[in-house]
Structure formats: structure tokens, C-alpha cells
Amino acid sequence: MAANKANKLAFLSMPAPASYVAAREGPSAEIVAEAQARRGEEAEVDPDQFQDPDNEYGLFAGTTYEADDEEADKIYEQVDMNMDARRRARREALENEELAKHRAERPKIQQQFADLKRGLAVVTDEEWENIPEVGNLTRKKRKRDERSFVVPDSVMVGDRSKTEYENSLDARQQATNGFETPADSGTLTNFVEMGQARDKILSLKLDQVSGTSTTSGLSTSIDPKGYLTSLDSVVLKTDAEIGDIKRARMLFDSLVKSNPKHAPGWIAAACLEEHAGRMVAARKLIKAGCEQCPKSDDVWLEAARLHNNDDAKVILANAVQHVGQSVKIWLAAADLEHDNKAKKRVLRKSLEHIPNSVRLWKETVNLESNPVDARILLSRAVEVIPLSVELWLALARLETPDKAKAVLNKARKAVPTSHEIWIAAGRLLEQEAYVPGKNEEQRTKELDVVDKTIEAGVRQLRHHQVLLTREQWLKEAERCESEGSPRTCEAIIKATVAMDIEEEDRLDTWMGDAESAEVRGHIGTARAILAYALKVFPDKRAIWRKAADLEKAHGTRESLDAILERAVHHCPQAEVLWLMWAKEKWLAGDVPAAREVLERAFIANPESEQIWLAAVKIEAENGELGVARELLVRARTVADTQRIWMKSAVFERQQDQLDSALETLATAIKKYPKFAKLYMIQGQIHQDRKDYPAARASFAAGIKASPKEATLWILASRLEEADGRSIKARALLDKARLANPGSDVLWAEAVGVEERSGGATQAKTVLARGLQECQTSGLLWSMTIWAESRPTRKSRSADALRKAADDPLVLCTVARLFWAERKIEKARQWFDRSIAANPDLGDNWGWWLKFERQHGNLEQQEDVVKKCIAVEPHHGATWQSVAKDVQNYRKSVQEVLELVVNLLH
């Protein structure tokens, strides 16, 4: 029965069904997540369970990284970099802008306390000492460090015995009587004999130095100065240097033994011994080098250098037996000779061995003092070396002009690829053309031959495939100019300046070449380039203006007059050329010629405003006021521009015809109601007449018509100040700043109003506000620097240079600070920098001249005045107030400069 009972565990030994899938141990992920949710815990999420099957990230992580993979990664990286660089500039600009905005809204702690830190500079020592100590603010008791340390016995014993003295001898000292020290062998050292031997050796050395060997050693024929000098010349080597020399000696010894035919090794070993002061060893080494390397001229030359003159001659004589074809050996042998005859003998002997050496022939010819002998030598030299251009040219220079032509023709046939021969031929023809006694027509024909020769030379060189670049030809032209051949220079420019240039780039290229040549000081080359450009582009005003400026700076009055006459002929509509010509005539004192030029200009440009005003200026300056007035009337009819109407009113005002000026202004304002200067002049005339209501009305009308004109607002404010209404002036400037935000001149005027009304504190406040709005204004920074106390001006100037480094007003202010500190040279340099930044500011010229009047000499003062006159400045607060004053309208630039210097303080 028991045998028939079924086994309940029999399924454990049965195989699993075919479709069975084993489950994971433990509860499923869903059951675990549900249990965690009931307990309020966050379920753990497998990061890979939601992996996109199409995502290939990490797909090939286990594969081998090959060269193709590296190349592909580099390509993708380059693509990413290019994509990033597309908008990098814009992105960086936006980032910088956001950073600047963030810094402005939330400045650093350091910036917020910068002014307070500067204020610490004025704290006195007494105030600093009175500042209370901070103390312990934690309200906690600090434990005192009450640890103690035991002093070692050695310290105490040593301190006890350091003041004691020994008053007894030990057993060893008692055995030897206390004064004799036994040597190892039992003998005693006799110090007396050692001292006598030292004295004897020293006396022998002194005898050798003095040149008199005596047995007694008591000679007194030593030159003390020479002995001390010889001691100074002794080079003391350190242990490190001696060690380096020993190591180098071992290396060079190994080198010459392993490769005895290596000449540089012998030379280096000899130089090492020479450096170590062992001349005998050095000569011995170099002698061995000459034996091992007899074909190396460097070894023989080094051997000659290491020996005296007589031995060097013997060495070089032996060298010639082995390296007779070495030019350096023969030249060194000639240098050893001190007599010219001996040198000639050596060099002529060298020519027997090396007849084709150009250098030996040149050295031989240079030793000849007789031109006939030199000519004979050069004739032989060109026969032996027909391809040497230098020898042909040297021979041509020694010959007469007729024979020189024949020599150059032979040279041209022998060396058809040399451009130097063609240039030398051109220079020879130019030299013949300027021989005295020839008329102008003959000279012109011969100079034309120079152009043809250079042109033919360029053509022949091109035929022989000799292609010099444009830049090389320009350098040759500059060299000809510097050597005194301007016509050859011009011929080279004519023949080559148009080479290798695209047609559309010719004008810009030639202008650039002319400017570069002028900067390098080659005025003739620049003139020739511009002349060729004018021949190609005769109707280009820019080239004529450049040529006129070049002649004005470096030419004569006649050459400038000629170039301007040609300019107005080719460009009759160029008003600036007519005005330049008329002004040059006027400056030369030829007023009738200037009038004639302007008459011709009227014919070509009947409605030109500038020409009309130039004619009026000439007549007014020469006292022809009636003619000037008639010209202005005609100009108002013919040209009828707002500037002519303004100049008419200014002219009447200068002649004290105020009623006529007001009538002219009234008419002009009807024609041109937006022209602000008309209102300014009208208001100033009323103000001069003390008619403040009329002036106020004029300025108000001008402000209404041109609210963006800051000068009108300033004049209106000053009118109110003059009338005693500072509050009204302040209000006007507030309105002006609203209409013209960011205008530094309005802020500066507001500061001036506060200062003139006595509110220094309010002026500083307004100045600080203005500096916040106009952070790069040189005018406001300059005022800020001077508003500071003297100790803090330097730091303020550093801030100004960081914000407005190239502003001329800031540079001038820094120069004045150096001036105040008596740093004269630095102040002069900074004045020069301020003028270079903007030469049109007359105030800076005034400050510079005032500085030179105090610390400079007469030459420096005259130099400043000359530069100022050449520039003719027009701007600057003080300069404009002086130059535009009715009483100063006929004063020159120098006179105005003197008045400005007197007003500056």
C-alpha cells in the first residue's frame, strides 16, 4: 500500500516544460514599487528601463578604438567648432554687455568702497591713533596657553661654561711643553722656516714680474701700477667653472680621438684650453689638428689666431701648401702684413693660385692708390671673370664717360641678365646730361634717353626671363635717388610701377606706394609715382591733392605753384585746389595773383560757397571792406547758402554795423529757420547791447527751432547768469540735458554754474552725476581730477586714463600734473601725446606753450609756436572765446595763441 502511494515531490526531478520561463528571485518590480508607494518611499527607477531602442549611445563602448574612429571624432569636433564660431562674436558681445550691466547694477564690494579707501589718504596720524581697538566681540573667554616646557641640561651646562676660562694644560700639552705640535712621523714643524721660504718665493715672483732677476730678492724696480693692472686682469674661476672645464676637456678629448678628421672638434678643444688660460696646450692641440685635418682652412686660421704675428705667417705659409685654393687663407695672410707693398705681393700671389676670385680682385684693386693701376687690374679682372657685375661696374666708374659707355656695352653683352648694368648706364647718361655748358633743350633730349634706356633694359631683362618684382624695382629707384640720380629713379618708376597690378587696384596701390616712400624719406620716388599716377588718372582730385601736399611739405613754392596750376586745369570743379592755389599766392604776398586765381575759380564754379567766402576774406584782410561787402551781397544772390548769410552778419558785426547785422540775420532766419548759428549771433548782439529780453527771445526761438544744439542752451544759460538769475540758468541746463542726454558740455556748464554761484559741494555732486552718465568724457574727467585734493589727483588721473585713455583733455591734464610735480621731461612727453591725439584743440597748444615758457628754452618755445601755426587749431573753450571775439577777428594764429596763454590759469 505504501508502495502504491504517489510521491508528492516527484515533480522536482522532472524536466521543465518547453515553454517555461523562469521567474526572477524575490518579488517582482511592480510589487516592490507598490509596497514602497504604500510606505511613502520613492521608488527606485532603473535608468536603463526607459532606454530608447533606437538610441545608439554606448552601443560600441566595448569595441576597439581605431585610427578611423579617431579621424571621425576629429572631423565631428571640427564641425562642432565651426558651428560654435558662427555666432561666437555676437554671443560674446551679448555676454559682455550683460556682464557690464550686471556690474553696473550690482558692483563689487571693492568698487563700492573705492572712494572711502581713497579717503583714508587724508587721515592724519593723530586720527589714526585715536581709532579704538576692536577687541574680542565674541563674548567668549579665551583659554590662555599656560603650557610649560623643560629646559634641556645641555643648554644649562653650555650657558654655565661659556664665561669660564681654562688655566691649566692637559697631559698631552704638558708632554710637549705646550707650544710644539708633534707631526705623524715624530718631527716638529718649524713655522719660522716656512715663513722665510714663503717670503723668498714671493720675492722671486716679484723679480720675474719686474724683469730683473736677483739673488737677494730685494729688487725695487717693479712698476706698481702695471703690477696692479696685471693682477686685475687675472680671471678667477670658481669650482663649478673648473669642473665644467674638466668635463668639457674629457668630452673633446674623446671626440678628437674617436674622429680625428673632424676639424670643428680640434678647434673647439683648442678654444677650451684658451679659455682655461692654457695657451701652450691650446697651441699643441691646434697643431695636432692641422696635422690631422690639413685640408680644413678653419683649422689653419684658428692656429694662426692662437700664435703671434711671426708664427702666424709661417703657419699660413704652410697652410697655402695644403689649401692653396682657400680665399680666406690668402686674405688672412694679407691681413698679417702691415706694409701695403707686402699686402699687394701676397694678394697678387693669391691671384696666381685663384684667378677667378672676385673678392681677391676687389681687395687687390682697393690697395691701389693710382687710378691707372686700378684700371689695368680691373681690365684684367673682367677678362678673367666676365660674369662679375661688380667688377664691370667698378671698371666703368674709373673710365671716362665715353669709355665707360663701351665698358657697359661689353658688360651688357657678357651679363645680359643683370639689371644693375642697365641702371648704371642710365645713371651715366643722366650724369652726362647735367654737365655744365649744355642748353635746356639738349639736356631735355639727353634725359629722355635715360627713360628710353631704362625701358629698353626692363624689356631685355624680361626677354631673358629675369623677372624682378615691383617691390625690388621700387627699392632700386629709392637707391638711385639716395645716390643722387633722381632722373634714373623717375625712369625706373615709369617703366616698372605698373607691373603686376590689377587695373582696378592701380590707384590705391600707387597712393600707398607714394605714402610709404614719403615716410621713408624718399621724396623723389614718391613724386615720380604720383606723376605717373596723374598721367594715368588726370581727373582724380585725390591724387592732385596728395601731390600738392607733397610739394607743400617738401618742395619749393615754384613747384607747388606749377602742380596746382596743372591741377585746376585738369579738375576745374575741385574747389579745394582753387582755394589752395589762391591761398599760396596770398601767403607769398601776391594779392593780385590770388584775386586772379579766384576770378578764374568763379568762372568754373559760379555757385561755390567756399570760393565766394575766400574772395571776401582776401578783400577784408587787405582792407578792401567795400569790395568785401559787395562780394557778400553778390554771393547772397548767386550762391544763397545759410553759411554765406551767417558770414555776412558776422562781417557787419565785425565792422560794428550792428543794425545792418540784425537786419541780415532777420532775413536769414526767415530763409533758414533751422540754422542755429543765426540765433546765436542775434542773441549775442542783443546781449552786447544789454538788451536781455531781446537776447532771451532770440535764444528761446533758436532752442525751439534746434533743441539738439547744446551751444544754444549754454548761451541762454549764460545770459540768465549775466542777468543775475542763476536759478533760471540752472533750470535751463536741466531742460537741456533732458533734450540732449549724454552731452558732456552741458554737464560741464552745469558744474560751472554751481561753482560760479558759490556751491562747491553742489558742483561736486553735479560733476559726479555727469560722470556717471558720460563715463568716457575727457572734459568731465579733467574737471574731476582738478576738483580733487592734491594727494588724490594721481589716483583720479589713473581712473581717467582707464576710462578715456586717448582723450586729449585727459592727456593734457596728466601733463599738467607732471608739470606741478616738476617732472619736466614727462610733462613734455604727455603734452606731445595730447597734441598728437587731437591737434585741433587750441587750449592744449596754449598749455604747452605756457609750460615751455616756464621750463623750456627759446628753441623749444619757437618749435611749439611753429607747429601751432602750421596746424591752425579751431576748437577749445578758451581758444574759441578768444578767436571769435569781435575785437580779435584780424589777429593771426600766433597772436591768438599768445592771448590764450595769458588767459589760461
Question: Would you place residue 185 in the very low, low, confident or very high pLDDT band (cuts 50, 70, 90)?
Answer: very low
| Mean pLDDT in residue range 808-831 | 93
| Mean pLDDT in residue range 485-502 | 89
Buried b (16+ CB within 10 A) or exposed e, 658-682: eebbbebbeebbeebeebbbbbbbb
Question: Would you place residue 52 in the very low, low, confident or very high pLDDT band (cuts 50, 70, 90)?
Answer: low
CA dihedral 825, 828, 830, 831 (to 10 degrees): 170
Res 141: pLDDT: 59
Three-state helix/strand/coil letters over 178-222: CCCCECCCCCECCHHHHHHHHHHHHHHHHHHHHCCCCCCCCCCCC
Res 683: pLDDT: 92
Count of C-beta atoms within a 10 Å radius of residue 691: 14
Buried b (16+ CB within 10 A) or exposed e, 113-136: eeeeebeeeeeeeeeeeeeeeeee
Question: Would you place residue 63 in the very low, low, confident or very high pLDDT band (cuts 50, 70, 90)?
Answer: low
Cell numbers for 727, please give them: 536759478
Give the whole-number percent of the chain exceeding pLDDT 70.
83
Lowest mean pLDDT among 40-44, 363-367, 811-815: 40-44
Res 220: pLDDT: 47
Lowest mean pLDDT among 118-127, 329-338, 452-461: 118-127
Q: What is the dihedral sign for C-alpha 560, 566, 569, 575?
A: negative
Q: Which option is the CATH number for 239-368: 1.20.120.1200, 3.40.50.720, 1.25.40.10, 3.40.50.300?
A: 1.25.40.10
Mean pLDDT of the chain: 82
Q: Residue 841: helix, strand or coil by DSSP? A: strand
Closest residue by Cα to residue 826 from 818, 816, 834: 818
Note the pLDDT tens digit of each residue in 691-720. Answer: 999 999 999 999 999 999 999 999 999 999
Question: Would you place residue 27 in the very low, low, confident or very high pLDDT band (cuts 50, 70, 90)?
Answer: low
Helix axes 842-855, 824-837, angle to 10 degrees: 160
- Cell 650724369 sits at which residue? 431
- Cα 477 to Cα 134, 418, 474, 506, 782: the distances in Å are 80, 16, 5, 19, 50
Task: Please give the DSSP secondary-structure letter assigned to residue 12.
Answer: G
Asked whether the predicted pLDDT for residue 761 surpasses 80, the reply is yes
State how far the Cα of 740 lies from the Cα of 703, in Å rounded to an integer. 12
Cell numbers for 164, please give them: 669660564
Q: Are 872 and 891 in contact (CB under 8 A)?
A: no
Q: Which helix (H) or strand (E) holds 77?
A: helix 67-86
Note the pLDDT tens digit of each residue in 395-444. Answer: 888 888 888 888 888 888 888 888 888 888 888 888 888 888 778 888 88
Res 900: pLDDT: 92
Q: Are 898 and 866 in contact (CB under 8 A)?
A: no
Question: Would you place residue 574 in the very low, low, confident or very high pLDDT band (cuts 50, 70, 90)?
Answer: confident
Question: Would you place residue 215 in the very low, low, confident or very high pLDDT band (cuts 50, 70, 90)?
Answer: very low
Cell numbers for 717, please give them: 544759460
Res 723: pLDDT: 87
Res 746: pLDDT: 92
Q: Which helix (H) or strand (E) holds 657?
A: none
Note the pLDDT tens digit of each residue in 662-691. Answer: 999 999 999 999 999 999 999 999 998 889
Q: Are 452 and 494 in contact (CB under 8 A)?
A: no
Q: Which range is most confident: 150-159, 177-186, 520-529?
A: 520-529
Closest residue by Cα to residue 894 from 871, 865, 857: 865
State how far the Cα of 221 lies from the Cα of 208, in Å rounded to an integer. 11
Report angle CA 104, 107, 110 to the nearest 5 degrees: 145
State how far the Cα of 892 lies from the Cα of 415, in Å rounded to an integer. 63
Buried b (16+ CB within 10 A) or exposed e, 395-434: bbebbeeeebbebbebbbebeeebbebbbbbbbbbbbbbe
Give every CB contact of residue 352 below 8 A, 6+ residues apart in sequence.
none
Closest residue by Cα to residue 890 from 649, 628, 617: 617
Give every CB contact of residue 372 below 8 A, 6+ residues apart in sequence.
none
Count of C-beta atoms within a 10 Å radius of residue 839: 17
Q: Which range is most confident: 194-208, 588-602, 678-692?
A: 678-692
Res 704: pLDDT: 92
Domain spans, the chain: 239-368
Give every CB contact of residue 273 below 8 A, 6+ residues apart in sequence.
249, 279, 281, 282, 285
Note the pLDDT tens digit of each residue in 579-591. Answer: 888 888 888 888 8
Res 682: pLDDT: 92
State how far the Cα of 248 lies from the Cα of 273, in Å rounded to an integer. 10
Helix axes 609-621, 642-654, angle to 10 degrees: 10
Helix axes 440-463, 419-433, angle to 10 degrees: 180
Res 379: pLDDT: 83
Asked whether the predicted pLDDT for residue 317 surpasses 60, the reply is yes
Q: Are 564 and 581 in contact (CB under 8 A)?
A: yes
φ and ψ of 521, to 5 deg: 90, 10
Res 161: pLDDT: 63
Lowest mean pLDDT among 94-108, 176-190, 596-610, 861-875: 176-190
Q: What is the DSSP string of 419-459?
A: HHHHHHHHHHHHHHHT-TT--HHHHHHHHHHHHHHHHHHHH
Residue 326, Cα to own-chain centre: how many angstroms?
46
Give every CB contact of residue 752 below 8 A, 6+ residues apart in sequence.
none
Res 859: pLDDT: 92
- Cα 122 to Cα 768, 788, 818: the distances in Å are 20, 12, 21
Cell numbers for 524, please give them: 623723389
CA dihedral 283, 288, 289, 291 (to 10 degrees): 130
Taking the model in full, what pTM does it have? 0.60
Question: Would you place residue 145 in the very low, low, confident or very high pLDDT band (cuts 50, 70, 90)?
Answer: low
Cell numbers for 716, please give them: 541762454
Q: Which helix (H) or strand (E) holds 898?
A: helix 893-903
Q: Which residues pair with 596 in a beta bridge?
A: none
Note the pLDDT tens digit of each residue in 71-122. Answer: 888 898 888 888 888 778 888 888 888 888 888 888 877 777 777 777 777 7
Residues in the chain, overall count: 905
Note the pLDDT tens digit of each residue in 247-299. Answer: 888 888 888 888 888 888 898 988 988 888 888 888 998 889 888 888 888 98
